[in-house]
Amino acid sequence: MDIRITPSKLSGTLDAISSKSFTHRLLICAALSENKTRIHLNGLSDDIQATINCLQTMGCFIETKEDSLLVTPLKKPLASNVVLNCKESGSTARFLFPLAAHLFDNFTIDGSGNLPSRPFSPICNTLANAGCVFTGGKLPITGRGKIKGGDFFIDGNISSQFISGLLFTLPLLDEDSRIIITTSLESAAYVDMTIEVLSLFGIEIKECESGYTVKGNQEYKTPHTAAAEGDWSNAAFFLCIGALGGSVSMQGLSLNSTQGDKEVMEILRRFGANAGSEGSGFCEVSSGMLNGISIDASQIPDLVPVLAAVASVAAGETKIFNAQRLRLKESDRIQSTFDFLSSLGADVKITDDGLIIHGKDKLKGGTADSAGDHRIVMAAAAVSCVCENPVIIKGYEAVNKSYPSFFDDFKSIGGAVDVI
Which of 293, 239, 241, 300 is closest to 271 using CA atoms? 293
Distance of alpha carbon 305 from alpha carbon 118, whole angstroms: 19
Q: Quick one: DSSP state of residue 166?
A: H
Q: Quick one: DSSP state of residue 238?
A: H
Active site (annotated) includes residue 15:
no
Contact indicator for 380, 2 with CB cutoff of 8 Å: no
Which of 416, 297, 419 is closest to 351 using CA atoms? 297
Q: Measured over all CA atoms, what is the biggest interatomic distance in the chain, rounded to whole angstroms? A: 63
Contact indicator for 233, 227 with CB cutoff of 8 Å: no
Of 302, 339, 369, 409, the active-site residue reads: 302
User: What number of other Cβ atoms are within 10 A of residue 308's Cβ?
Assistant: 28
Question: Which residues in 111-192 belong to E strands, given as ranges?
Answer: 133-134, 141-144, 151-154, 177-181
Question: Which residues in 111-176 belong to E strands, given as ranges?
Answer: 133-134, 141-144, 151-154
Contact indicator for 100, 413 with CB cutoff of 8 Å: no
Distance of alpha carbon 373 from alpha carbon 29, whole angstroms: 28
The Cα-based distances of 163 to 24, 99, 114, 157 in angstroms read 15, 12, 21, 11
Task: Give catalytic residues, as residue numbers.
Answer: 302
